[in-house]
Amino acid sequence: MRKIIVMMVLSLVATSFYGQGLNQKDRQQIDQRVGSFLQQISDKNYTGLVDYIYPRVFEHTSKDQMFKTFAMLEQMGITLKFQNMEVLEANSLSTVDNIEYAMIKYNLDMTLPLTTDDLKGFAPLIVPSLESNFGKGNVIYNKAENYIRVKGQKYLMGVKDPEYKSQWLFLIYDASFKSAITKIVPAKVNQQAAAIAGE
């Protein structure tokens, strides 16, 4: 269970990007909101961080459980370090029922220092999960220097829903969230997203 929770949060926080391929207004809003989103991570303000996630995901994932997860991760001493984060491409998806969708492909480069005995003990469980998610060649486990480094390309789905003040909110587009996304995002949009992601 802890392995699943750790994987979910690693996916969640790895979302630094600059919107391209959208109109100027959307690019500016995405810039502003992503800056704030990353500041929540830096400040470990997990309550604030959850406010940037598309709320409908919480119809299928407990927000209270997320808060407990964040608290547990902090107690475990997990501190992620990011470098070389950039968007590779961004594409508008269909608008359905006045809800706009966008697909962003971004470069991920993050390091998880194994600073506690607990984290060192979890490493043999975390590494295979990361390899499954990012590809074996994209995960480096340096046991001698006690860190795990992940490099790869990931996708993020942006959602701008009038019900939520037409602000861009985010869904992590990977296996950890795929079940919830399938339930809350229209099939047409999911098909377009899957085509972009090469699925």
The number of domains in the chain is 1
pLDDT digits (tens, 9 = 90+) for 79-105: 777 776 666 777 889 999 999 999 878
Amino acid 42: pLDDT: 58
CATH number at residue 175: 3.10.450
Domain of 29?
A: 2-197
- Comparing CA positions, the residue from 95, 84, 9, 20 lying closest to residue 44 is 9
- Report the candidate in 103, 98, 129, 125 with the shortest Cα–Cα distance to residue 7: 129
Tell me the two tokens of residue 49: 């961080």
In whole angstroms, give the CA distance from residue 170 to residue 18.
13
Q: What is the mean pLDDT of residues 4-30?
A: 57
26 vs 50: CA distance, rounded Å? 21
Contact 11, 177 (CB under 8 A): yes
Residue 139 banded pLDDT, cuts 50, 70, 90? very high
Measured distance CA(138)–CA(115) in Å, rounded: 21
pLDDT digits (tens, 9 = 90+) for 115-137: 888 888 888 888 888 888 788 89
Mean pLDDT to the nearest integer, 20-44: 68
